[in-house]
């Protein structure tokens, strides 16, 4: 195959893989803190792109993105306090159903606010036509922004969890709730923070890829399931693996166009999920002990 | 030939060997007790025999047929029933319905015949109910039959679980700490009941902490410690065994 | 006892015959159409009730089986087999066996296709086959993983329906002929057949709830509830939990497929929207509102909520309403049936197990 074409697919895979990774990281953060899998996670990524697209009309781009992330984080915290606080006591089914209901509400609210049209964000640097070039393939500088944001995310989270008091407090809560509260940590607050963090990260991912992928109100459900696929692929709870898995999955999806008609592209991802769940639910890189360590 | 034969059974969790090369035989129409301090591997042994867990090595044979590693429902169908240490009843169903589950292996109605309400399946359902009531009456809890199992007092729940196991007309009954949580009087009633069960021709394998129960009714006692069998014999022999005494030294379990 | 078992079905059957003339007299005969459609959606919900409420297995893929039923039937009975210049041996065999029909579609094209009754039957069999194949690995999963897997299945079906040209793409399949049940009686749209079709739908629904009521009040039904409330104990009592879960999964799929087939022939069309995950969520919401392990509750909420939705009462907030219902039901049932029913799904902190 022409190397330029190959690289097009490659970069496309990186971009989509990054947003899947961002959603997956969100899944992991919430899962580690609460054991809940928040079906609404993909909606926050959608919100990031949508909010940023609206705010960008009034604010400088960087402020729009920052504000979008903040609002999404607040939405995450709010949804936790309103709906999910009690849901944990209702067993796994209650949590599944509540988070699904939540995702629907967010999606319908987005439809109400923004309508069904596709929206986009201005490119962070340059415009739609600016491009960099490697080995004869042209790609948008936005791709570098995406990769940079992903790297920053991973680095930032690692630093947060390992070096800051709050990060350590969250890890403590995840490992042993009762013990953490005995040390003066408020587990409920940690949970709210975890939700806010997860939502914010998803939103950041959504905003950063929006110039390239466009966004609309309905992408949340697909992002949720793909993000979960990635999180499971890497071993639920392990975000470093999630990034790798996300990029891999993005590649897989991107190159699948070569063998499968474009309309079935998403089917590939889901079949990967199904295959994974059947064969090795602890994920490609996961193992029981690794899961028990539950970093972030 | 013994009813139940266990040979070289081992199972580890992580690095810990919960059951280490345990072997013994339980005779038909006898009460065999498995005792040992906490963590000795008694419950794991039970789970290995009943099929809840698969062993790393060793064999279990029931009535001459090998049942090692078989699924729990298959083992149940061969005539082995059990109770659980923490009571496992379907809390949403009534006591009677729970006991009726015990008749599952003694009945045949499947999905199709049930959905079409075929006459034979309807009359089988009636006889399931009758047999279940019989087991309930045997345990003297008839007045609780239509109450939701989750709402019953603990001791009654234990009886329901036992009735459920008996309803299956087992050849071997596995009792997992049946006396836990019972007071002295209730334990005595339980002892008499287990003796009656033996009198019905049912063999019993019981894991228990309560020494008065064990020594009072058992025909044979197996002692485990740290996953290994350290002694086996009649109750009087076990009580006199110096090694057994030493592992229980200072612990009064009566 | 016997009366209690037969009552819901009897009431439905009575309504099946009594309502059409009653509505006609009251001048609201037009409501029959939406009540007919509601009945089919309620049928699919009943199947899900057996699976989720009684067996305790969550499925977010019920709409997928509904769509398999509808699409397969629509495809088989609109696919022109007479297009080729020389019909193949198989076609000639089917033709001589009387399994094919010649008809003219609304666009004036002459077609030779599989008889709708046969295509409907094949569609249901296909759905059952898919359920049997999918269920075996999927039902080994629990909780979130099961939910995700079934959701994934539903999305695959929707994507395939939407993306396949032979299935009409985003427009779906239309001009689906009526499905003849008896000479002179067929499942089809149009005012002339409106009353008869209402009766058919509600009789089918009555049979559906009768059959499921029989199931839950029987030995296998009890086994299902036992495995929901305590899988380990159920297995210890001789219940082959894997096989039972699979059987009820297949039954739920069959109910959805039958509903899909009949609704498709009634409407004369089907589109990819029927397979959407939001539809699956609706079925779940209906079962939850109905009280989880409550067939009559599911029946009533299925009829009522679908009717309201079809009448447009929820406006454009249709999906949002069902989402909100889900949340409300969960929030308002403290340690209620839902929580109790799914306690067995809670992650167990066992050291090991099978």
Q: What does the alpha-carbon distance between residue C255 and residue C204 come to, in Å, rounded to a whole number?
A: 10
pLDDT cut 90: percent of chain C above it: 61
Interval A281-290 mean pLDDT? 55
Q: Where are the domains of chain A?
A: 15-121+140-279
Residue of chain A nearest C287, judged by CA positions:
A97
Of B238, B217, B229, which is closest to residue B30 (Cα–Cα)?
Answer: B217
Interval A164-185 mean pLDDT? 74
Give the strand pairing for B80-82 and B16-26.
unpaired
Interval A263-288 mean pLDDT? 74
* Interface contact flag, B111 C341, Cβ < 8 Å: no
Q: What is the pLDDT of residue B249?
A: 64
Residue of chain A nearest C143, judged by CA positions:
A92
Residues C125/C118, Cβ–Cβ less than 8 Å: no
Among candidates C148, C323, C331 on the partner chain, residue whose Cβ is nearest the Cβ of A225: C148
With b meaning 16 or more CB within 10 Å and e meaning fewer, what string describes C195-226?
bbbbbbbbbbbbebbbbbbbbbbbbbbbbbbb
Q: List the helix and strand counts (H, then E) for chain B.
A: 10, 10
> Band of the pLDDT at C8, cuts 50, 70, 90?
very high
Contact B164/C at CB under 8 A: yes
Q: What is the pLDDT of residue C130?
A: 97
- For the stretch C184-217, pLDDT in tens is 788 888 888 899 999 999 999 999 999 999 999 9
Residues on chain C touching B81 (C-beta within 8 angstroms)? 236-237
Residues on chain C touching A228 (C-beta within 8 angstroms)? 148
Instruction: For CA atoms B111, B115, B120, B122, give the dihedral sign.
Output: positive
Residues on chain C touching A268 (C-beta within 8 angstroms)? none
pLDDT cut 70: percent of chain A above it: 90
Distances (CA, A) of C103 to C115, C131, C186, C194: 10, 33, 15, 22
Q: What is the pLDDT of residue C18?
A: 94
Q: What is the pLDDT of residue C1?
A: 59
Nearest CA of chain C to the CA of A122: how many Å?
Answer: 30
Distances (CA, A) of A22 to A49, A80, B26, B113: 13, 19, 59, 51
> Band of the pLDDT at B26, cuts 50, 70, 90?
very high
Give the strand pairing for B228-233 and B16-26.
unpaired
Whether the per-residue pLDDT at B95 is higher than 80: the answer is: yes
Residue C273 vs residue A276, higher pLDDT: C273
Among candidates C152, C164, C346 on the partner chain, residue whose Cβ is nearest the Cβ of A225: C152
Q: What is the pLDDT of residue A290?
A: 45
Nearest CA of chain C to the CA of B176: how many Å?
Answer: 13
* Interface contact flag, A277 C145, Cβ < 8 Å: yes
Q: What does the alpha-carbon distance between residue C141 and residue C121 come to, in Å, rounded to a whole number?
A: 30
* Interface contact flag, C141 A37, Cβ < 8 Å: no
Q: Which positions 147-176 of A are in contact with C (Cβ < 8 Å)?
A: none
* Interface contact flag, C152 A102, Cβ < 8 Å: no
Nearest CA of chain A to the CA of C159: how many Å?
Answer: 7
Q: What does the alpha-carbon distance between residue C137 and residue C201 come to, in Å, rounded to a whole number?
A: 34
Nearest CA of chain C to the CA of B118: how many Å?
Answer: 10
Of C95, C306, C270, C83, which is closest to residue C189 (Cα–Cα)?
Answer: C270
Residue B190 vs residue A286, higher pLDDT: B190
- The contacts of residue B224 (CB under 8 Å, 6+ apart) are B22, B34, B35, B36, B40, B41, B42, B45, B230
Interval B225-251 mean pLDDT? 84
**Residues of chain C contacting B, Cβ within 8 Å:** 211-212, 214-215, 218-223, 225-226, 228-230, 232-241, 247-248, 251, 293, 337, 340-341, 343, 351-354
* Interface contact flag, A100 C152, Cβ < 8 Å: no
Among candidates C144, C156, C333 on the partner chain, residue whose Cβ is nearest the Cβ of A267: C156
Residues A182/A65, Cβ–Cβ less than 8 Å: no
Least confident of B189-193, C286-290, C332-336: C332-336
Interval B166-194 mean pLDDT? 91
Residues on chain A touching C141 (C-beta within 8 angstroms)? 277, 281
Q: What is the pLDDT of residue A294?
A: 42
- The contacts of residue B232 (CB under 8 Å, 6+ apart) are B24, B220, B221, B222, B223, B238
Whole-number mean pLDDT of chain C? 88
- For the stretch C67-77, pLDDT in tens is 999 999 999 99
With b meaning 16 or more CB within 10 Å and e meaning fewer, what string describes A90-121?
bbbbbbbbbbbbbbbbbbbebbeebeeeebbb
Q: What angle (nearest 5°) sits at the alpha carbon of residue C86, between those of residues C85 and C88?
A: 130
Highest mean pLDDT among A5-19, A155-169, B193-207: B193-207
Whether the per-residue pLDDT at B162 is higher than 70: the answer is: yes
Q: What is the pLDDT of residue A284?
A: 58
Q: What is the model's pTM? A: 0.89
Residues on chain C touching B90 (C-beta within 8 angstroms)? 225-226, 228-230, 233-234
Least confident of A64-78, A123-137, A222-236, C297-311: A123-137
Residues on chain C touching A270 (C-beta within 8 angstroms)? 152-153, 155-156, 159
* Interface contact flag, C339 A94, Cβ < 8 Å: yes
Residues on chain B touching C236 (C-beta within 8 angstroms)? 50, 52, 72-73, 76, 81-82, 84, 88
Distances (CA, A) of B58 to A287, B5, B17, B222, C246: 27, 11, 14, 18, 32
> Band of the pLDDT at A176, cuts 50, 70, 90?
confident
Helices (H), chain C: 2-26, 31-49, 62-78, 89-96, 116-138, 143-163, 194-216, 219-229, 231-236, 241-267, 277-289, 295-311, 318-332, 337-341
* Interface contact flag, C222 B84, Cβ < 8 Å: no
Residue C55 vs residue B41, higher pLDDT: C55
Highest mean pLDDT among A187-191, A280-284, B179-183: B179-183
Q: What is the pLDDT of residue C188?
A: 87
Residues belonging to chain A: 296
Q: What does the alpha-carbon distance between residue A85 and residue C127 come to, in Å, rounded to a whole number?
A: 39
Residues on chain C touching B110 (C-beta within 8 angstroms)? 220
Interval C326-345 mean pLDDT? 61
* Interface contact flag, B109 C354, Cβ < 8 Å: no
Specify if C262 maps to a domain.
yes
Residue of chain C nearest A268, judged by CA positions:
C156
With b meaning 16 or more CB within 10 Å and e meaning fewer, what string describes C257-274?
bbbbbbbbbbbbbbbbeb
- Assigned token pair, B54: 């698969």
Least confident of A40-44, A213-217, B100-104, C242-246: A213-217
Whether the per-residue pLDDT at A271 is higher than 70: the answer is: yes
- Helix H, strand E, coil C: the string for chain A is CCHHHHHHHHHHHHHHHHHHHHHHHHHHHHHHHHCCCCCCHHHHHHHHHHHHHHHCCCCCHHHHHHHHHHHHHHHHHHHHHHHHHHHHHHHHHHHHHHHHHHHHHHHHHHHHHHCCCCECCCCCCCCCCCCEEECCEEECHHHHHHHHHHHHHHHHHHHHHHHCHHHHHHHHHHHCHHHHHHCCCCHHHHHHHHHHHHHHHHHHHHHHHHHHHCECCCHHHHHHHHHHHHHHHCCCCCHHHHHHHHHHHHHHHHHHHHCCCHHHHHHHHHHHHHHHHHHCCCCCCCCHHHHHHCCC
Least confident of A195-199, B249-253, C7-11, C317-321: B249-253
Whole-number mean pLDDT of chain B? 91
> Band of the pLDDT at A260, cuts 50, 70, 90?
confident
Nearest CA of chain C to the CA of B25: how many Å?
Answer: 21
Number of folded domains that form chain C: 1
- For the stretch A37-66, pLDDT in tens is 898 999 999 999 999 999 988 888 889 999
Specify if C158 maps to a domain.
yes
Q: What does the alpha-carbon distance between residue A225 and residue A24 come to, in Å, rounded to a whole number?
A: 9
A228: how many CB neighbours lie within 10 A of its CB?
Answer: 28
Contact B92/C at CB under 8 A: yes
Residue A236 vs residue C230, higher pLDDT: C230
Residues on chain B touching C235 (C-beta within 8 angstroms)? 51-52, 71-73, 76
Nearest CA of chain C to the CA of A222: how many Å?
Answer: 9
Q: What does the alpha-carbon distance between residue C279 and residue C73 come to, in Å, rounded to a whole number?
A: 20
- For the stretch A193-248, pLDDT in tens is 889 999 999 999 999 888 888 888 888 888 998 898 888 877 777 778 888 889 98
Q: What does the alpha-carbon distance between residue B169 and residue B103 come to, in Å, rounded to a whole number?
A: 8
Q: What is the pLDDT of residue B110?
A: 92
pLDDT cut 90: percent of chain A above it: 19
- B vs C, Cβ pairs < 8 A, gives 121
Whether the per-residue pLDDT at A131 is higher than 50: the answer is: yes
Residues on chain C touching A27 (C-beta within 8 angstroms)? none
pLDDT cut 70: percent of chain C above it: 92
- For the stretch C106-142, pLDDT in tens is 888 888 888 889 999 999 999 999 999 999 999 988 8
Among candidates A94, A108, A228 on the partner chain, residue whose Cβ is nearest the Cβ of C320: A108
Whether the per-residue pLDDT at C282 is higher than 90: the answer is: yes
**CATH code at C36?**
1.10.3470
With b meaning 16 or more CB within 10 Å and e meaning fewer, what string describes A237-255?
bbbbbbbbbbbbbbbebbb
Contact A62/C at CB under 8 A: no
- How high is the ipTM of this complex? 0.90
Whether the per-residue pLDDT at C345 is higher than 70: the answer is: no
Residues on chain B touching C238 (C-beta within 8 angstroms)? 73, 76-77, 104-105, 168
Q: What is the pLDDT of residue B10?
A: 93
Residues B20/B40, Cβ–Cβ less than 8 Å: no
Q: What is the pLDDT of residue B16?
A: 87
DSSP labels, C199-221: HHHHHHHHHHHHHHHHHHTSHHH
Q: What does the alpha-carbon distance between residue C223 and residue C74 come to, in Å, rounded to a whole number?
A: 37
DSSP labels, C141-189: --HHHHHHHHHHHHHHHHHHHHH-GGGTGGG-B--PPPEEEETTEEE--
> Band of the pLDDT at A1, cuts 50, 70, 90?
low
Q: Which positions 38-57 of B are in contact with C (Cβ < 8 Å)?
A: 50-54
Nearest CA of chain C to the CA of A268: how many Å?
Answer: 9
Q: What is the pLDDT of residue A295?
A: 41
Q: Which chains touch A (3 or more CB pairs under 8 A)?
A: C
* Interface contact flag, B73 C225, Cβ < 8 Å: no
Specify if C181 maps to a domain.
yes
Whether the per-residue pLDDT at A18 is higher than 80: the answer is: yes
Domain extent for C231: 2-345
Q: What does the alpha-carbon distance between residue A38 and residue A193 come to, in Å, rounded to a whole number?
A: 14
* Interface contact flag, C346 A91, Cβ < 8 Å: yes
- The contacts of residue A117 (CB under 8 Å, 6+ apart) are A216
Whether the per-residue pLDDT at C334 is higher than 80: the answer is: no
Q: What is the pLDDT of residue A2?
A: 73
Nearest CA of chain A to the CA of C143: how many Å?
Answer: 6
Q: What is the pLDDT of residue C351?
A: 38
Nearest CA of chain C to the CA of A276: how many Å?
Answer: 10
């Amino acid at each position: 195959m022409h190397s330029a074409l190959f690289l097009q697919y490659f970069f496309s895979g990186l971009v989509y893989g990054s947003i899947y990774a961002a959603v997956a990281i969100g899944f992991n953060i919430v899962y580690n803190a609460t054991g809940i899998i928040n079906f609404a996670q993909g909606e926050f990524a959608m919100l990031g792109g949508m909010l940023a697209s609206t705010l960008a009309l009034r604010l400088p781009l960087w402020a729009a993105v920052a504000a979008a992330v903040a609002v999404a984080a607040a939405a995450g915290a709010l949804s936790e306090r309103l709906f999910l606080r009690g849901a944990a006591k209702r067993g796994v089914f209650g949590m599944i159903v509540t988070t699904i209901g939540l995702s629907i509400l967010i999606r319908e609210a987005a439809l109400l606010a923004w309508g069904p049209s596709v929206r986009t964000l201005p490119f962070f640097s340059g415009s739609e036509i600016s491009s960099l070039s490697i080995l004869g393939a042209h790609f948008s500088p936005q791709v570098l922004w995406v990769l940079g944001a992903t790297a920053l995310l991973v680095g930032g989270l690692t630093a947060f969890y390992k070096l800051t008091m709050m990060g350590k407090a969250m890890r403590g809560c995840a490992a042993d709730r009762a013990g953490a509260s005995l040390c003066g940590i408020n587990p409920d607050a940690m949970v709210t923070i975890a939700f806010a963090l997860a939502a914010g990260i998803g939103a950041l991912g959504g905003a950063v890829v929006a110039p390239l992928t466009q966004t609309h109100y309905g992408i949340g459900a697909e992002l949720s399931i793909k993000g979960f696929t990635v999180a499971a692929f890497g071993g639920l709870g392990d975000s470093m693996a999630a990034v790798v898995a996300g990029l891999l999955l993005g590649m897989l999806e991107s190159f699948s166009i070569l063998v499968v008609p474009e309309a079935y592209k998403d089917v590939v991802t889901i079949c990967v999920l199904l295959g994974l769940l059947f064969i090795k639910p602890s994920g490609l890189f996961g193992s029981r002990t690794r899961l028990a360590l539950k970093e972030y | 030939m013994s009813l139940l034969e266990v040979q070289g059974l081992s199972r580890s969790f992580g690095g810990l060997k919960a059951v280490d090369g345990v072997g013994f035989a339980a005779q038909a129409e006898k009460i065999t007790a498995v005792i040992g301090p906490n963590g000795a591997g008694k419950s794991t042994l039970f789970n290995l025999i009943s099929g809840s867990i698969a062993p790393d090595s060793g064999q279990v044979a029931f009535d001459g047929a090998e049942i090692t590693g078989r699924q729990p429902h298959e083992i149940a169908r061969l005539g082995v029933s059990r109770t659980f240490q923490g009571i496992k009843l379907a809390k949403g169903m009534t006591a009677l319905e729970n006991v009726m589950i015990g008749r599952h292996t003694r009945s045949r109605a499947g999905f199709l015949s049930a959905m079409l309400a075929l006459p034979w399946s309807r009359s089988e359902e009636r006889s399931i109910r009758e047999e279940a009531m019989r087991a309930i009456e045997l345990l003297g809890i008839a007045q609780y039959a239509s109450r939701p199992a989750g709402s019953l007092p603990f001791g009654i729940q234990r009886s329901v679980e036992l009735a459920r196991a008996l309803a299956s007309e087992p050849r071997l009954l596995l009792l997992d700490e049946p006396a836990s949580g019972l007071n002295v009087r209730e334990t005595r009633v339980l002892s008499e009941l287990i003796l009656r069960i033996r009198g019905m021709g049912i063999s019993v394998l019981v894991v228990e902490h309560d020494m008065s129960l064990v020594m009072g009714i058992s025909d044979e006692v197996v002692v485990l410690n740290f996953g290994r069998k350290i002694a086996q014999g009649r109750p009087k022999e076990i009580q006199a065994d110096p090694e057994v005494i030493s592992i229980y030294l200072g612990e009064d379990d009566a | 006892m016997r009366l209690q078992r037969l009552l819901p079905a009897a009431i439905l059957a009575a309504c099946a015959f009594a309502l059409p003339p009653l509505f006609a007299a009251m001048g609201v005969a037009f409501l029959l159409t939406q009540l007919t459609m509601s009945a089919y959606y309620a049928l699919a919900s009943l199947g899900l009730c057996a699976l989720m409420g009684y067996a305790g297995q969550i499925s977010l893929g019920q709409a997928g089986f509904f769509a398999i039923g509808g699409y397969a039937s629509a495809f088989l009975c609109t696919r022109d087999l007479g297009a080729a210049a020389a019909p193949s041996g198989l076609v000639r065999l089917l033709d001589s066996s009387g399994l094919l029909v010649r008809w003219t579609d609304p666009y004036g094209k002459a077609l030779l296709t599989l008889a709708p009754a046969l295509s409907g039957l094949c569609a249901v069999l296909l759905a059952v086959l898919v359920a049997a194949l999918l269920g075996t690995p999927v039902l080994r999963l629990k909780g979130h993983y099961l939910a995700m897997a079934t959701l994934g299945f539903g999305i695959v079906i929707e994507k395939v329906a939407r993306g396949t040209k032979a299935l009409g793409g985003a427009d779906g399949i239309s001009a689906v002929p009526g499905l003849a049940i008896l000479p002179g009686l067929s499942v089809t749209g149009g005012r002339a057949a409106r009353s008869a079709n209402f009766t058919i739908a509600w009789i089918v629904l009555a049979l559906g709830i009768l059959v499921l009521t029989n199931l839950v009040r029987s030995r296998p039904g009890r086994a299902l509830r036992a495995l929901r409330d305590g899988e380990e104990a159920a297995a210890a009592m001789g219940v082959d939990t894997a096989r039972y879960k699979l059987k009820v999964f297949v039954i739920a799929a069959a109910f959805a497929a039958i509903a899909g087939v009949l609704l498709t022939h009634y409407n004369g069309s089907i589109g990819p929207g029927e397979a959407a995950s939001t539809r699956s969520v609706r079925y779940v919401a209906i079962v939850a509102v109905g009280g989880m392990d409550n067939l009559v509750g599911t029946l009533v909420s299925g009829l009522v909520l679908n009717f309201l939705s079809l009448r447009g009462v929820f406006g454009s907030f249709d999906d949002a309403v069902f989402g909100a219902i889900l949340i409300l039901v969960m929030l308002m049932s403290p340690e209620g049936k839902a929580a109790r029913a799914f306690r067995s799904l809670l992650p167990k902190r066992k050291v090991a197990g099978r």
